């Protein structure tokens, strides 16, 4: 998946890890540009571009509430123009959806995702971006914690793509079904879906072959077959102009997680309603190098909010990841990546209240914010 701030990134300078002062300057400049645009009643595409750029700068500084307000204000002015500019308005909804997701406001995340889909309905039925919205809806259900609906959504999307002759999209959708099935420990369906893809017209497509190899590697990892993983990775190479393919993710080992896992076994997990107006949204940006062989090194917190000790288990987990090998020039150190990790509870309206409050366990959202693949590959 690409970064959510689509229009902003199209204008971004190729700097993979901007310094804090650079981000502050960028936020100030983007705010001024947006204010000028609004004052002159600039066209919808321009306001969307400036609003998303400013929201991205606010998000980068950890100003999640401000980023949401920026995007909501732009949507209030421009959502009526979805028929003329469906892609532009869709981008505003997508950016707002992701900010709300990182804030833990799942109701707003749902509303923005639905808005994105409705905006794209103004495109022709066979438009790729409109078709791909079906996959985003599956992703939405994953984020909502409902893999059963997600699996059904991906399967329906695969059938629809196949009926339209979009064989690559059908195969990639089927592979998502396989990944969800594996996450649900249904290895039988995972194998069945892999076999379907192997027999499909898109079986020889490069992207399909790569993703299928990753799913097979994850299946081998699940079964404890490390030799099988090594064999698959020996023939798999991703291109340096694409994000690395994650093959093996390491669990986060922390005292809190271990306590929750232990309590889950006995059904004794309290779901607290936080009494403060808001437990502070905590975030860090973690930089790390993915070596040509797919191993990870040099993982470190680049910056973040307040005390960042809570992020140590996540940094350690990143270092234990394994990616597909990357076809880089000899002597290249690898691809440098930056991920935003946000720790927050969900925000809902509890019974007897009219105001959204932080409720339940804190959970993590991760977003790849690497700004330019080419710069990342060269270390520029």
Is 99 a residue whose pLDDT tops 80?
yes
353 confidence band (pLDDT: 50, 70, 90): confident
pLDDT at 71 (0 to 100): 98
pLDDT at 26 (0 to 100): 67
| Alpha helices (H) in the chain, listed in sequence order | 6-10, 20-39, 44-60, 64-78, 86-103, 106-120, 128-143, 147-163, 167-183, 187-198, 206-222, 226-234, 255-265, 312-319, 373-378
Residue 365 CA: distances (Å) to CA of 61, 103, 121, 283: 16, 9, 28, 9
Q: What is the mean pLDDT of residues 128-144?
A: 93
Is 285 a residue whose pLDDT tops 50?
yes
Q: What is the mean pLDDT of residues 135-141?
A: 94
CA–CA separation, 168 vs 315, rounded Å? 35
CA–CA separation, 30 vs 24, rounded Å? 10
Least confident of 19-23, 97-101, 286-290, 351-355: 19-23
CB 360 within 8 A of CB 104: no
Query: Tell me: the pLDDT tens digits for 197-216?
Result: 999 999 999 889 989 988 99
CA–CA separation, 49 vs 360, rounded Å? 35
DSSP 226-285: HHHHHHHHHT--B-TTSPPPEEEPPPP--HHHHHHHHHHHTT----PBP-SS-PPPEEEE
pLDDT at 300 (0 to 100): 96
Buried b (16+ CB within 10 A) or exposed e, 264-294: eeeeeeeeeeeeeeebebbbbbbbbbbbbeb
Q: What is the mean pLDDT of residues 56-75?
A: 96
Q: Mapping DSSP to helix (H, G, I), strand (E, B) and coil, where does residue 309 land?
A: helix
Query: pTM above 0.85?
Result: no
Round the average pLDDT of the chain to a whole number and report it.
84
> What is the percentage of the chain residues whose pLDDT exceeds 90?
61
Is 255 a residue whose pLDDT tops 80?
no
> What is the percentage of the chain residues whose pLDDT exceeds 70?
83
pLDDT at 16 (0 to 100): 41
Q: Mapping DSSP to helix (H, G, I), strand (E, B) and coil, where does residue 345 land?
A: strand
pLDDT at 48 (0 to 100): 96
The count of other CB atoms within 10 Å of the CB of residue 258 is 11
Distance of CA 185 to the CA centre of its chain: 23
Query: Tell me: the pLDDT tens digits for 152-189?
Result: 999 999 999 999 999 999 999 999 999 999 999 999 99
Residue 287 tokens, joined: 């930089």
Q: What is the mean pLDDT of residues 49-53?
A: 96
pLDDT at 254 (0 to 100): 56
Query: Tell me: the pLDDT tens digits for 360-374?
Result: 778 899 999 997 554
pLDDT at 253 (0 to 100): 66
What lies within 8 Å, CB to CB, of 359 at 6+ separation is 271, 272, 273, 274, 345, 346, 347, 348, 350
57 confidence band (pLDDT: 50, 70, 90): very high
pLDDT at 21 (0 to 100): 54
Query: Tell me: the pLDDT tens digits for 302-322?
Result: 999 988 999 999 999 999 999
Between 225 and 89, residue with greater pLDDT: 89
Q: What is the mean pLDDT of residues 318-334?
A: 91
24 confidence band (pLDDT: 50, 70, 90): low
73 confidence band (pLDDT: 50, 70, 90): very high
């Amino acid at each position: 998946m690409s970064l959510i701030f689509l229009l902003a990134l199209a204008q971004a300078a190729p700097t993979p890890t901007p310094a804090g002062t650079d981000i502050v300057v960028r936020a100030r400049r983007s705010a001024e540009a947006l204010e000028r645009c609004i004052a002159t009643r600039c066209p919808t595409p321009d306001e969307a571009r400036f609003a998303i750029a400013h929201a991205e700068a606010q998000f980068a500084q950890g100003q999640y509430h401000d980023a949401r307000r920026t995007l909501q204000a732009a949507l209030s002015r421009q959502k009526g123009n979805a028929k003329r500019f469906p892609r532009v308005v869709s981008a505003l909804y997508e950016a707002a959806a992701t900010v709300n997701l990182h804030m833990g406001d799942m109701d707003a995340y749902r509303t923005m995702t639905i808005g994105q889909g409705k905006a794209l309905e103004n495109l022709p039925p066979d438009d790729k971006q409109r078709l791909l919205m079906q996959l985003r809806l599956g992703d939405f259900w994953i984020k909502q914690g409902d893999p059963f609906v997600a699996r059904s959504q991906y399967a329906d999307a695969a059938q629809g793509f196949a009926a339209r002759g979009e064989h690559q999209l059908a195969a990639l959708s089927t592979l998502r079904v396989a990944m969800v099935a594996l996450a649900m420990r249904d290895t039988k369906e995972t194998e069945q879906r892999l076999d379907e893809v192997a027999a499909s017209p898109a079986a020889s497509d490069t992207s399909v072959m790569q993703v299928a190899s990753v799913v097979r590697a994850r299946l081998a990892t699940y079964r404890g077959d490390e030799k099988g993983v090594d064999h698959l990775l020996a023939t798999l190479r991703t291109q340096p102009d694409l994000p690395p393919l994650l093959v093996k993710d390491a669990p986060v080992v922390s005292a809190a997680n271990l306590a929750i896992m232990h309590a889950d076994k006995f059904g004794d997990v309290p779901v607290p309603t936080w009494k403060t107006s808001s437990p502070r949204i905590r975030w860090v940006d973690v930089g790390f190098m993915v070596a040509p062989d797919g191993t990870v090194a040099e993982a470190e917190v680049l910056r973040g909010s307040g005390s960042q000790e809570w992020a140590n288990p996540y940094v350690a987990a990143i270092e234990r990841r394994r990616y597909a090998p990357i076809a880089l020039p000899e002597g290249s150190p690898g691809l440098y990546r930056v991920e935003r990790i946000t720790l927050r509870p969900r925000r809902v309206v509890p019974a007897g209240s009219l105001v959204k409050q932080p409720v339940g366990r804190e959970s993590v959202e991760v977003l790849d914010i690497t700004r330019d693949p080419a710069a990342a590959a060269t270390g520029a």
